[in-house]
Amino acid sequence: MLGVIAIHIGSVALTNPTPNLGLIAVLEILSRFSVPAFFFLSAFGLFYKYPLQGPFSYTTYLKRRLKTVFIPYLFWSLFYLCYMSVAEHSYTLFRPLTLGKTLLFGLSMYHIYFLVILLWFYLLMPLWRYLLKKTDRHAYIFFPLLFIGNVIFNYYSSYVWIAPPTSLWHDLFVYRLNYLVLHYIFIFFFGAFTAEHFPAVIAWMKNHAVFLYLFQGAAVLAMLGSYAGVMHYWQYSALSAVFTIHQLSPIGMIYTVSTLLFFLYRWECRSLSPVCQRLFTLLGNVSYPMYLVHPVWLSIGAAYLHHRHLVPDAAYILCLYLFVTLTSLLYSLLIQKISLPSWLQICLGIK
């Protein structure tokens, strides 16, 4: 969650005519693993709760998932449509065709598309269970091939393919990143496999600690080197570099895997201080409502900077990050403490 907020804060930092490139590297480059990390954790949670060898009722499962994701998705989509309409003094977003496209592709706010992809992953759960069962015994062959295939697909989707001129397929193609699960198929299966073989994965990590540290260090250097390289050799702007070195780029996918393994190792195989454990547990418990609401606080903070004609330099960006994180956290804790109707708890993502 902290990484997702960092990415969105980075968009404000990029409005600076002379942005702090080091700060952009942290906010927009090194935080990029956060988006696929959500799919990893979602798959891990699903397959940990519904293991392949256990009973699985698709109807019961789907009812629970739709309540957890689909209802909050509709609620927050309509909330952000109202929010933007009031802010812009225009209600064209509620025209039937516009509203339909917005809900189909998750366009009501820049972060909400994640729930659309997640819903497709949930709907296709029987397929994922079938494929994982078929490939589980040959994981050492399946996962490298899946990773290579996913890298190739994401490379073409990110850098090569151009939207067709025909209107019939235009929106489906333009907004493919907002719904097409194939972009994150490897990381989802990786999370599912980790859940199915959690003790074995932990044992492997304990025996390969040095490799994990070296892998993470090399991946970080490669990400930063790619970011600096496209600006130095290709004369890219910071914004263009961010649009190039992202989580779906080849190096971005490698960095995502290394970072997930590294943090999983640090969390499960190394002791953390009680303070860190309580902090991360707290953030984990409220990450969903924080995710849903944080654009509200970010828009308020960004509007304040604009109103005061302040240049978003490093100091203001760090203050903005703290403001968005703390207000989102306080909001999430508050709505869990106060007594709310059951239907509203579902809509707000706390039940």
Q: What is the pLDDT along the chain (351 residues), one digit of tens a residue?
A: 889 999 999 999 999 999 999 999 999 999 999 999 999 999 999 999 999 999 999 999 999 999 999 999 999 999 999 999 998 888 888 999 899 999 999 999 999 999 999 999 999 999 999 999 999 989 999 999 999 999 999 999 999 988 777 766 888 899 999 999 999 999 999 999 999 999 999 999 999 999 999 999 999 999 999 999 999 999 999 999 999 999 999 999 999 999 999 999 999 998 888 888 888 888 889 999 999 999 999 999 999 988 898 999 999 999 999 999 999 999 999 999 999 999 999 999 987
> Tokens for 232?
């130095």
CA distances from 142 to 40, 126, 134, 246 (A): 17, 19, 10, 25
* pLDDT for position 71: 96
Looking only at Cα atoms, what is the longest distance across the chain?
60
Contact between 119 and 69 (Cβ < 8 Å) = yes
pLDDT of residue 167: 67
Q: What is the pLDDT of residue 270?
A: 86
Which residue type sits at 170?
H
